[in-house]
Amino acid sequence: MAYKAIVIGSSAGGLIALKTIILGLRKDFMLPIIIVQHISPHSDSFMARYFNQISPLHVKEADEREPVRSGHVYLAPPNFHLLVEEDQTLSLSVEEKVNFSRPSIDILFETASYVWGKHLIGIILTGANNDGASGLEKIARAGGLAIIQSPESAEVPIMPMSAMDHCPTALILPLNDIPDYLNKINQ
């Protein structure tokens, strides 16, 4: 299967989990990665700057109407939903919160599944709510690959457990195994 993009959702404990994945990817990793990490609406761009300094991949906050490019990692800006448009550009929205969150993992996952269908990989990481569970289910129903961080390896297991309830066909992997798995897919 030729995958075209990866979407990742994380919440409580996500900074460490995302660091494990991003730093575990090879420098020639080409699949674009689009991430929603639940953060305070008043946060600055620390995460993007931090990851861009330590990662061999180009990491940045997503901009409105920005084309999705290979080898890039895009983070949802604070207090904006991040969506993927049909023309494979990113868009930002300040519509109502979904699952008490803006950015919402479900919104990213659902819009990305419409665009890439079976060519999409969705990953749910650590977190303390159920955001992303229904979006991951949509990715799986569209034929995409659903991956969930094993609850035992999650700092907060609620989000992975909720995703497992919604998406029983998902691949469950310990956090440290996810980057190696993605590197093999990207060969």
| Residues 6+ away with beta carbon under 8 Å from 163 | 124, 130, 132, 133, 136, 146, 148, 170
**Is 81 marked active-site?**
no
Rounded CA-CA distance 141/137 in Å is 6
Say which of 10, 11, 134, 162 is annotated catalytic. 11
Which helix (H) or strand (E) segment holds residue 54: the answer is helix 46-54
Say which of 38, 72, 81, 166 is annotated catalytic. 38
Q: What is the 8-class DSSP label of residue 96? A: P
Peptide bond preceding 103 in cis form (omega within 30 of 0): yes
**Is 162 marked active-site?**
no
**Is 131 marked active-site?**
yes
Say which of 101, 104, 131, 134 is annotated catalytic. 131
Active-site residues: which are they?
Answer: 11, 38, 131
